């Protein structure tokens, strides 16, 4: 009983991400890319602070005691948010989402292959090479979909 | 051409996201997942505050003239983190990621197809279905 429930929860979690891209893209188009990303991070920080303050069990280590390089993740998060806010109004939510996911999966294959970030090495095998090719193919198809649409719109302006 | 460049940029940003996740996982184990997430949002908010100060033009006021629902993007991020934190110990990382990605891709195609959330309508076509199938196949192979 629990398992289907969790899977629904996960689908909702993913849907929430797509909705976030879409909403932020729309806001960015109206109020500016940096402004919109800034608001997202500020609200996120306020909410997570409250959640952490009241619900996080005490831990041995704190953010102030871990090695500093472990705190650099935010740099990538900011670049991602700026890219999404800029891209969504221009290419649509689905194209941006497919590009992000392909990038994520390609990079995780590379991280595994080289064992970056002190992860275990999992070399690329045949099925992982095919997976990489499929991801690049998916981006190509989304691009073609845009080209087709563009051509249609040029041919029959409605 | 411009379109292809934007997609390439987003692809690279997505690669960065994987690095972020790779850093966030071990950090969360040590200091707690909410604290780890807070570090991302807090450092991000501070960096973007700096960027705003030095941006050539700012229109912060415009943010608060928008309909309220457009400002909810920041609420959805933590929702995702909570879902992730609840589900991962119960079903494992692999299953969690597959579930999240399926939800994400399906919702993004639906948002474009129906023009939800005020986005421009982009109908589902053969290419988009093909792209979906390829991502699912890649997930299955990984």
Give the angle A137-A143-A148 at the CA atoms, nearest 5°. Answer: 125
Does position A157 have pLDDT exceeding 60, yes or no?
no
Q: How many domains does chain B have?
A: 2
From chain A, pick out residues whose CB is under 8 angstroms from the CB of B42.
45, 48-49, 74
**pLDDT tens-digit map of A25-35:** 889 888 888 99
pLDDT given at position A60: 81
**pLDDT tens-digit map of A2-26:** 778 888 888 888 888 888 888 988 8
| Chain-centroid distance, C-alpha A87 | 12
pLDDT given at position B23: 81
Query: Is A66 a domain residue?
Result: no
Residues B73 and B91 in one domain: yes
In angstroms, how far is the first alpha carbon of chain B from the final one?
31
Give the angle A99-A100-A104 at the CA atoms, nearest 5°. Answer: 120
Residues B9 and B70 in one domain: no
Query: Is A62 a domain residue?
Result: no
More confident residue, B55 or A1: B55
Q: Percent helix, strand and coil across chain A, each rounded to 5?
A: 80, 0, 20
Task: Name the domain boundary from B58, B79, B107.
Answer: B58
Low-confidence spans in chain B with pLDDT less than 70: 93-94
pLDDT band at A1 (very low <50, low <70, confident <90, very high): low
Residues B54 and B93 in one domain: no
Chain B nearest C-alpha distance from A34 (Å): 7
CA atoms within 13 A on the CB side of A131: 21
CB environment B34-51: b (16+ within 10 A), e (fewer): bbbbbbbbbbbbebbeeb
Residues B96 and B35 in one domain: no
C-beta separation of A149 from B122 below 8 A: yes
Residues B5 and B30 in one domain: yes
Nearest CA in chain B to A16: B76
Q: Could you list the residue range(s) of the whole structural domain that residue B6 is in?
A: 1-58
Q: What is the CA radius of gyration of chain B?
A: 18
pLDDT given at position B99: 83
A139 membership: H or E segment, kind and range:
helix A126-155
Q: Percent helix, strand and coil across chain B, each rounded to 5?
A: 85, 0, 15
Please report, to the nearest 10 degrees, the dihedral formed by the alpha carbons of residues B23, B8, B107, B101 taken in order. -40
Q: Is B5 on the interface with A (CB under 8 A)?
A: no
Sign for the pseudo-dihedral over CA of A25, A89, B3, B99: positive
Residues B118 and B78 in one domain: yes
pLDDT band at A92 (very low <50, low <70, confident <90, very high): confident
pLDDT given at position B43: 92
Residues B24 and B78 in one domain: no
**Which among B132, B135, B139 is the top mutation candidate for probing chain A, defined by the most A β-carbons within 10 Å of its own β-carbon?**
B135
Residues B36 and B77 in one domain: no
Contact B112 A66 (CB under 8 A): no
Contact B39 A11 (CB under 8 A): no
Query: Is A105 a domain residue?
Result: yes
Q: Is B54 on the interface with A (CB under 8 A)?
A: no
Residues B12 and B50 in one domain: yes
Residues B53 and B109 in one domain: no
- Distance, in Å, from the CA atom of A65 to the CA atom of B92, rounded to the nearest integer, reads 28
Residues B47 and B82 in one domain: no
- Distance, in Å, from the CA atom of A34 to the CA atom of A31, rounded to the nearest integer, reads 9
From chain A, pick out residues whose CB is under 8 angstroms from the CB of B41.
41, 44-45, 48, 74
Q: How many domains does chain A have?
A: 1
Q: Is B89 on the interface with A (CB under 8 A)?
A: no
**pLDDT tens-digit map of A114-141:** 888 767 777 888 888 888 888 888 888 8
pLDDT given at position B59: 81
- Which candidate from B77, B95, B127 shows the least CB-CB separation from A144? B127
Query: Is A148 a domain residue?
Result: yes
- Distance, in Å, from the CA atom of A81 to the CA atom of B77, rounded to the nearest integer, reads 11
Q: Could you list the residue range(s) of the whole structural domain that residue A19 is in?
A: 2-57+73-155
Residues B41 and B73 in one domain: no
**pLDDT tens-digit map of A35-63:** 999 999 999 999 999 988 998 888 888 88
Between the alpha carbon of residue A54 and those of residues A8, A47, A59, B65, the distances in Å are 27, 11, 14, 32
Over residues A74-84, mean pLDDT:
89
């Amino acid at each position: 009983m629990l398992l289907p429930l969790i899977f629904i929860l996960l689908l909702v979690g993913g849907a929430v991400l797509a909705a976030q891209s879409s909403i932020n893209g729309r806001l960015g188009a109206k109020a500016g890319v940096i402004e919109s990303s800034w608001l997202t991070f500020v609200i996120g920080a306020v909410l997570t602070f409250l959640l952490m303050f009241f619900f996080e069990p005490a831990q041995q280590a704190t953010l102030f005691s871990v090695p500093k390089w472990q705190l650099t993740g935010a740099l990538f998060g900011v670049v991602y948010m700026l890219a999404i806010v800029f891209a969504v109004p221009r290419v649509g939510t689905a194209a941006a989402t497919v590009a992000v996911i392909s990038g994520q999966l390609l990079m995780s294959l590379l991280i595994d292959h080289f064992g970056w970030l002190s992860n275990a090495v999992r070399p690329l095998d045949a099925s992982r090479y095919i997976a990489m090719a499929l991801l690049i193919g998916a981006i190509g198809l989304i691009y073609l979909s845009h080209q087709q649409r563009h051509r249609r719109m040029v041919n029959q302006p409605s | 051409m411009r379109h292809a460049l934007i997609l390439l940029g987003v692809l690279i940003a997505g690669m960065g996201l994987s690095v972020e996740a790779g850093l966030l996982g071990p950090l969360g184990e040590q200091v707690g997942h909410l604290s780890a997430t807070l570090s991302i949002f807090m450092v991000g908010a501070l960096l973007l505050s700096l960027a705003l100060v030095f941006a050539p033009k700012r229109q912060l006021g415009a943010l608060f003239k928008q309909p309220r629902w457009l400002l909810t993007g920041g609420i959805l991020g933590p929702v995702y983190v909570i879902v992730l934190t609840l589900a991962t110990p119960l079903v494992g990382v692999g299953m969690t990621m597959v579930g999240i990605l399926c939800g994400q891709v399906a919702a993004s195609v639906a948002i474009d197809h129906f023009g939800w959330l005020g986005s421009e309508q982009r109908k589902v076509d053969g290419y988009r279905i093909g792209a979906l199938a390829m991502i699912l196949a890649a997930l299955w192979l990984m």
